[in-house]
Amino acid sequence: MLHILLVTFPFFALVLAGYVAARRRMLPLEAIPGLNGFVLFFALPCMLYRFGSTTPIAQLLDAWVAGLYLLCGLVIVGVTIALTRNARIRWNDAAMGALVAAFPNSGFMGVPLIVALLGASAAGTVILTMVVDMVITSSLCIALSRLDSAQGDGRSAALDATRKALRGVLTNPMPWAIILGGVASAWAFRLPEPVEKTVWLLADSASPVALFTIGAVLARAQMTANHPMPLGDYLPVALLKLFAHPVLVLVVGWLAIRAGAPLGWPTLVVMVLVAALPSASNVSLLAERFGADNGRIARIILVTTAAAFLTFSGAVTLLT
């Protein structure tokens, strides 16, 4: 356990550093969008391209991994909505809560952290789960969040929201970086050396800046949406993310292996560890954009991120 904590500690320490920097105003809140922009449009796409281009294409196109992971994500979405939707938490808040329960922070945290623990061979599986969450799980939850729309127009509002979500995927540089990396892997293509060195330098910056930015985003969300809220509104969702999601992936994956699915144990371990990650911080931005209770979503992300230092490290200890 100690050697695992030695690997995970710097990752969570950087999140804490970003949180403290924003809370103490050492980092102006106005600077956070700039950090987000650097990570989203430069550093993280370069890191994803590097991992994609150096990963065997078969790992990036593993239908069993995508299908089993998607199935578990859909179950978590359905269970979360069923448990949390009530007279006060309507479709918008329930759907965003479901998204934050099923969408791990695989981009900003998962890729560098799991690769640091298990090696570069784990990158392909993490990237594939990321694509599933960005394209399917997010689009579904955004569509469900529109079902509160007035009288009889909920279905068309949901379809319109789905189209907007898919357009958002198309304008997100991360899926394109993954696709380009996969094409480069399939064709054994390498960038010209000066360009490759530039891309690799940006890729090296992705992990520390992204982790620091997560902390700053969490601090900003807490500072700008800090209203009283009962534990029952957010703690059960955090528990679903940290415990139910990885356990479900483990059980479903193990049953699939026993049934003869071509899924190796090392691959299943990566899938479980992805599910054991804290909630994705960008769900807070989606909640704000679609008018959900961003204070609730921010609390879920904050609780899962703080607790994951122990729960994620524990999952690694049990599985490896």
Is residue 216 within 8 A of residue 22, CB to CB? The reply is yes
CA atoms within 13 A on the CB side of 197: 2
> What's the pLDDT at 15?
93
Give dist(CA 20, CA 120) in Å, integer: 31
Residue that the structure tokens 């804490």 belong to: 16
Residue 142 has a pLDDT of 87
Helices (H), 57-192: 57-60, 63-84, 91-102, 111-118, 123-132, 138-145, 154-171, 173-187
- Nearest CA among 8, 6, 65 for reference residue 311: 8
Residue 43 to residue 185: CA distance in whole angstroms:
20
Give pLDDT < 50 ranges for the chain.
150-151
**Within 13 Å and on the Cβ side, how many CA atoms surround 111?**
29
Residue 151 has what pLDDT? 45
Domains belonging to the chain, first-starting first, are 2-319 (1.20.1530.20)
Residue 209 corresponds to which tokens in the numbers above?
């800046």
**Exposed/middle/buried for residue 244 (C-beta within 10 Å: 0-12, 13-18, 19+):** buried
